[in-house]
């Protein structure tokens, strides 16, 4: 059996959509591990498959439009069991219990997980009572406490309001309060702060960090914001068109990036105090519907592209211990089987 | 005047207010007013970029729209230098404003909803030319082709429709439209916020190049503090409908003088794991713009608040004659606030 510190491993996960216009390989062979108590980042631009990866872990991909078509999602909760989530029925008891008790998710779209007909307080209380044997009064206190923690003004009054009475940023914070209120083992945060102002963002990220440190919660944080990842993650997975192209500890991603896409992303963002012209990546993210197969998908935008890049898909190379990169430039390094 | 007095002020905004009515009940009676912009003073010099930052709902968009009269200000003056003399846009009739729009244009945030999906790129970009009765179809095609090439697209793409373009390309179409009349001033309302970072960099470079080439003046509204620092010569910080600080961008980021600006500097996400000190979150309650606090409007969240802050509203004033650094805080001269560089030092992490 694998490493006992391993909480979750994705092994060659493939989640595809069958749209009218053709097949969309939204997640196409993703492999990575999350250790207990670790925070792992997934970063990449719009449409690269970040949300679909997290929805797959939660078994929330709607069939028949989309489905997990390959790979494994091995989940090893603290109780010692080991479960392949891809084998569970999405609506079944075991999956529902995992969703309610062990894995919490903060969704990119707050309205999808808040029910408009119940007060914010009732929704948090429900999550609390589902998980802990607490009285209604205790659950309500917990709801107010969580709303205070995420910076909702006047929480005693707000707890009895409905989602539509909250601003977008407040809804996002209410959802974070709800996700954290049931003490999950594993928290998936999909762009948890994208809609928020920086001062509130700082507050939420601090809260998530505190919770991770105090309760040993593992976190998978998904974002396109390289600043948020730098602050939150211990290890980073860089995604491009449904595949992980580079994986390393956070410091290596920022100071020793190997993949031309990662390098390009870092050069695209402005750095305060350095008023240099930016170096963008040329072109834009390709349409997943029209991707050729067996090539490097980054080749048309890559400043280092070679002949082989548009003829054959590069394997994943191990550059260093714990640092992998899917790029022909590193041919000769040790290949890792995906 | 400041050491930059050689470059002239092209827009001078004083006491700008915009209140929106809050309608209640079946008779839609006015129950109160949202003070979206509540007495803003600022100016923009010719050829510069003034960045505008501040939290969601603080009135950035409303300010930009009042300047170009897409909204009618409730109060205040919007002086624009036209042919050497200042004219007040707030007083102008629709007809007079039409003339001014040749010189002040706006680029919108959302490249997906700001372009009419039923119009071809040609029709979108030439619309301002039509409105102003400039040239015929032949000239339009020529001009649109030129504009498309200039913003990094191809002339042959003018027959296509918005849905055939990516977000970054659509934003380029919006920029081409804004440039069609050869304006002097561009109000850019979050022009890159909806774009992927790799494409955002392309559009920021394009805006810089166009500014140099056509000597454009930009009012650049954004919430990303790194983007604003990168593109702006000067920055205005807004809070709850007011300008609380305005200064040279390097100066403002290094030496903020308003406690809210300091809070922003402490909150900037920095894309370098080696520069992570604890980001100090701002506490306190976010006030309701329909019911702003008395005195200084930041008093519900300010860590340095004193009695006077609940009683008197601090005016926006220059820190010293000629400093070109304007602040609205009773204690601007006394407080020693931390700039973004303090985030680099590790000794302050508790
Ligand atoms: N229900 C669906 N049907 C068809 N295609 C889908 C569906 N959901 C996602 N996709 C496609 O899968 C790809 C990956 O989408 P995903 O939402 O994971 O992107 P993302 O990385 O989260 O992007 P963003 O940063 O914009 O949130 C996209 O090309 C998207 O269009
Ligand atoms: N047409 C309108 N009617 C009523 N209220 C409005 C209207 N437009 C804006 N407001 C209110 O005015 C305030 C300022 O809004 P504005 O859009 O100018 O903010 P902003 O700084 O641009 O915010 P964001 O960063 O979210 O774009 C907000 O409280 C907003 O709800
Ligand atoms: S494989 Fe080739 S095209 Fe792809 S990133 Fe590496 S060098 Fe660039
Ligand atoms: Mg997503
Ligand atoms: Mg706005």
Q: Provide, as residue numbers in chain B, all residues whose Cβ is less than 8 Å from the Cβ of A158.
A: none
pLDDT at B4 over 50: no
Q: Is the pLDDT higher at B7 or at B12?
A: B12
pLDDT classification of A76: cutoffs 50, 70, 90: very high
Q: Which of A142-151, A205-214, B40-49 has the highest mean pLDDT?
A: B40-49
Paired sense of beta strands B217-221 and B185-189, if any? parallel
Q: What pLDDT, on a 0 to 100 scale, did the predictor assign at position B63?
A: 97
pLDDT at A242 over 60: yes
pLDDT tens per residue across span B12-28: 999 999 999 888 777 78
Q: What pLDDT, on a 0 to 100 scale, did the predictor assign at position A234?
A: 96
- Please check whether residue A33 is in contact with residue A9, taking contact to mean a CB–CB distance below 8 angstroms: yes
Nearest to A185 by CA among A101, A243, A107, A259: A101
Which residues form the pocket of ligand 1, taking CB atoms under 6 Å from any ligand atom? A 17, 19, 24, 26, 44, 46-52, 65-66, 108, 224, 288
CA B181 to CA B126: how far, in whole Å?
9
The DSSP bridge partners found for residue A42 are A222, A237
A228-244 average pLDDT score = 96
Distance of CA B269 from the midpoint of ligand 3 (Å):
29
B94-107 average pLDDT score = 92
Q: What pLDDT, on a 0 to 100 scale, did the predictor assign at position B346?
A: 52
Between residues 235 and 264 of chain B, which touch chain A (CB distance below 8 Å)? 250, 253, 263-264
Take residue A84 and report the two structure tokens written for it.
């392949």
- Please check whether residue B159 is in contact with residue B121, taking contact to mean a CB–CB distance below 8 angstroms: yes
Q: What pLDDT, on a 0 to 100 scale, did the predictor assign at position B109?
A: 79
Q: What is the DSSP letter of A271?
A: B
- Please check whether residue A69 is in contact with residue A18, taking contact to mean a CB–CB distance below 8 angstroms: no
A209-214 average pLDDT score = 85
B282-288 average pLDDT score = 74
Q: What pLDDT, on a 0 to 100 scale, did the predictor assign at position B277?
A: 65
B69-76 average pLDDT score = 96
Q: Which of B277-281, B320-324, B346-350 has the highest mean pLDDT?
A: B320-324
Ligand 3 pocket: which of A328, A330, A333 to mutate (most atoms within 8 A of CB): A328
Q: What pLDDT, on a 0 to 100 scale, did the predictor assign at position B278?
A: 62
Alpha carbon of A249: minimum distance to chain B alpha carbons (Å): 10
Q: What percentage of chain B has pLDDT greater than the value 90?
A: 71
The DSSP bridge partners found for residue A221 are A41, A189
Q: In chain A, how many H helices and how many E strands?
A: 10, 13
CA A275 to CA B230: how far, in whole Å?
6
Q: What is the DSSP letter of B58?
A: S
Alpha carbon of B238: minimum distance to chain A alpha carbons (Å): 13
- B342 CB within 8 Å of a chain A CB: no
Nearest to A120 by CA among A92, A149, A90, A147: A147
B72-89 average pLDDT score = 95
Paired sense of beta strands A103-106 and A186-190, if any? parallel
pLDDT tens per residue across span A160-188: 999 888 877 778 788 888 888 888 899 99
**Non-local CB neighbours of B93 within 8 Å, separated by 6+ positions:** none
Would you state the torsion angle of the CA atoms of residues A156, A160, A161, A162, taken in this order, to the nearest 10 degrees?
140
Q: What pLDDT, on a 0 to 100 scale, did the predictor assign at position A204?
A: 82
Q: Provide, as residue numbers in chain A, all residues whose Cβ is less than 8 Å from the Cβ of B197.
A: 45, 224, 226, 265, 268-269
A234-250 average pLDDT score = 97
pLDDT classification of A129: cutoffs 50, 70, 90: confident
Q: What pLDDT, on a 0 to 100 scale, did the predictor assign at position B133?
A: 92
Q: Which helix (H) or strand (E) holds B63?
A: helix B60-67
pLDDT tens per residue across span A273-326: 888 899 999 988 888 888 888 999 999 999 999 999 999 999 999 999 999 999
pLDDT at B135 over 70: yes
pLDDT at B349 over 50: no
Q: Is the pLDDT higher at A2 or at B125?
A: B125
Q: What is the DSSP letter of B209?
A: H
- B273 CB within 8 Å of a chain A CB: yes
Q: What is the DSSP letter of B47?
A: T
Q: What pLDDT, on a 0 to 100 scale, did the predictor assign at position A334?
A: 95
Residue of B nearest to A277 (CA): B205
Q: Provide, as residue numbers in chain B, all residues whose Cβ is less than 8 Å from the Cβ of A266.
A: 271
What is chain B's alpha carbon radius of gyration, rounded to the nearest angstrom?
Answer: 21
Give nearest CA residue, ligand 1 atom 5. A17
Question: For B149, how many CA atoms within 13 A lie in the half-sphere containing its CB?
Answer: 7
pLDDT tens per residue across span B175-211: 999 999 999 999 999 998 888 888 899 999 999 999 9
Q: What pLDDT, on a 0 to 100 scale, did the predictor assign at position B1?
A: 39
Q: What pLDDT, on a 0 to 100 scale, did the predictor assign at position A338?
A: 54
CA B245 to CA B266: how far, in whole Å?
16
pLDDT at B41 over 60: yes
Interface test mutation site (partner A, options B269, B298, B340, B350, max chain A beta carbons within 10 A): B269
Would you state the torsion angle of the CA atoms of residues A296, B172, B50, B187, taken in this order, to the nearest 10 degrees?
-150
Q: Which SS3 state, helix, strand or coil, does residue A325 take?
A: strand
Q: What pLDDT, on a 0 to 100 scale, did the predictor assign at position B280?
A: 63
Question: For A94, how many CA atoms within 13 A lie in the half-sphere containing its CB?
Answer: 11
Take residue A149 and report the two structure tokens written for it.
């923690």
pLDDT classification of A1: cutoffs 50, 70, 90: very low
Q: What pLDDT, on a 0 to 100 scale, did the predictor assign at position B348?
A: 43
Q: What pLDDT, on a 0 to 100 scale, did the predictor assign at position B302?
A: 94
Q: CA–CA distance from A326 to each of A15, A73, A280, A308, A315 (Å)?
A: 20, 21, 21, 13, 6
CA A247 to CA A326: how far, in whole Å?
9
Nearest to B188 by CA among B82, B35, B67: B67
Q: Provide, as residue numbers in chain A, all residues whose Cβ is less than 8 Å from the Cβ of B264.
A: 198-199
CA B136 to CA B228: how far, in whole Å?
39
Question: Which of A153, A200, A227 has its CB closest to that of B271?
Answer: A227
Q: What pLDDT, on a 0 to 100 scale, did the predictor assign at position A290?
A: 83
A238-250 average pLDDT score = 97
The DSSP bridge partners found for residue A271 are A274
**Comparing A48-57, A143-152, B120-129, which segment has the lowest mean pLDDT?**
A143-152
B116-145 average pLDDT score = 94
B165-180 average pLDDT score = 90
What mean pLDDT is reported for chain A? 90
Q: Do A198 and B268 touch (CB under 8 A)?
A: yes
Which residues form the pocket of ligand 2, taking CB atoms under 6 Å from any ligand atom? B 20, 34, 36, 54, 56-62, 223, 289
Q: What pLDDT, on a 0 to 100 scale, did the predictor assign at position A164?
A: 85
**Comparing A203-212, B41-50, B212-221, B272-281, which segment has the lowest mean pLDDT?**
B272-281
């Amino acid at each position: 059996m694998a490493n006992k510190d391993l909480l979750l491993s994705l092994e060659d996960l493939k989640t595809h959509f069958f749209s009218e216009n053709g097949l969309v390989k939204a997640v196409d062979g993703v492999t990575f591990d999350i250790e207990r108590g670790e925070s792992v980042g997934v970063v990449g631009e719009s449409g690269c498959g970040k949300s679909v990866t997290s929805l797959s872990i939660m078994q929330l991909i709607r069939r028949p439009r989309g489905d997990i078509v390959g790979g494994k999602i091995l989940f090893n909760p603290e109780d010692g069991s080991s479960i392949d989530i891809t084998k569970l029925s999405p609506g079944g008891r075991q999956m529902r219990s995992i969703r309610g008790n062990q894995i919490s998710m903060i969704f990119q779209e707050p309205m999808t997980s808040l029910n408009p007909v119940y007060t914010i307080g009732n929704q948090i209380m429900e999550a609390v009572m589902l998980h802990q044997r607490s009285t209604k009064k205790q659950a309500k206190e917990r709801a107010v406490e969580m709303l205070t923690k995420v910076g909702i003004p006047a929480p005693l009054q707000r707890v009895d309001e409905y989602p539509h009475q909250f601003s977008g940023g407040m809804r996002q914070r209410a959802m974070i309060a709800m996700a954290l209120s049931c003490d999950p083992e594993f928290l998936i945060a999909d762009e948890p702060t994208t809609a928020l102002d920086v001062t509130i963002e700082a507050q939420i990220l601090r809260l998530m960090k505190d919770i991770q440190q105090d309760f040993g919660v593992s976190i998978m944080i998904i974002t396109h914001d390289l600043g948020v990842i730098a602050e939150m993650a211990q290890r980073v997975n860089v995604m491009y068109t449904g595949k992980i192209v580079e994986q390393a500890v956070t410091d290596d991603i920022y100071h020793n990036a190997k993949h031309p896409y990662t390098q390009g992303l870092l050069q695209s963002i402005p750095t305060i105090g350095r008023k240099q012209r930016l170096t963008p990546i040329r072109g834009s993210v390709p349409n997943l519907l029209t991707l050729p197969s067996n090539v490097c998908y980054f080749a048309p935008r890559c400043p280092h592209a070679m002949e082989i890049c548009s003829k054959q898909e590069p394997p994943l190379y191990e550059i260093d211990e714990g640092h992998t990169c899917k790029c022909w430039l590193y041919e000769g390094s040790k290949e890792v089987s995906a | 005047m400041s050491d930059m007095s050689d470059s002239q002020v092209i827009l001078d905004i004083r006491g700008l207010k915009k209140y929106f009515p809050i309608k209640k009940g079946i008779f839609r009676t006015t129950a109160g007013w949202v003070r979206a912009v509540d007495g803003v003073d600022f100016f923009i010099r010719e050829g510069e970029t003034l960045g505008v930052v501040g939290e969601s709902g603080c009135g950035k968009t409303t300010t930009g729209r009042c300047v170009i009269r897409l909204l009618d200000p409730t109060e205040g003056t919007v002086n624009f230098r036209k042919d050497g003399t200042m004219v007040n846009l707030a007083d102008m009739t629709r007809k007079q404003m039409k003339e001014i729009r040749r010189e002040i244009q706006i680029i919108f945030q959302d490249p997906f909803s700001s372009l009419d999906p039923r119009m071809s790129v040609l029709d979108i970009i030439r619309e301002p030319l039509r409105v102003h009765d400039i040239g015929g179809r032949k000239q339009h095609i020529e001009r649109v082709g030129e504009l498309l090439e200039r913003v990094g697209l191809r002339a042959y793409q003018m027959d296509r429709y918005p849905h055939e373009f990516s977000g970054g390309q659509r934003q380029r179409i919006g920029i081409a439209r804004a440039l069609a009349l050869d304006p002097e001033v561009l109000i850019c309302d979050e022009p890159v916020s909806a774009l992927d970072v790799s494409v955002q960099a392309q559009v920021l470079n394009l805006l810089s190049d166009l500014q140099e080439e056509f000597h454009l003046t930009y009012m650049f509204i954004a919430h990303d503090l790194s983007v604003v620092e990168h593109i702006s010569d000067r920055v205005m910080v807004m809070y709850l409908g007011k300008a609380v600080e305005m200064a040279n961008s390097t100066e403002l980021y290094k030496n903020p003088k308003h406690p809210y600006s300091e809070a922003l500097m402490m909150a900037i996400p920095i894309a370098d794991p080696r520069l992570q000190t604890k980001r100090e979150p701002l506490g306190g309650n976010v006030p309701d713009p329909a019911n702003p606090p008395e005195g200084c409007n930041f008093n519900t969240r300010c860590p340095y608040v004193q009695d006077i802050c609940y009683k008197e509203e601090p005016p926006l004033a220059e820190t010293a004659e000629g400093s070109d650094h304007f602040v609205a805080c009773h204690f601007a001269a006394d407080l020693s606030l931390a700039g973004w560089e303090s985030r680099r030092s590790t000794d302050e992490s508790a």
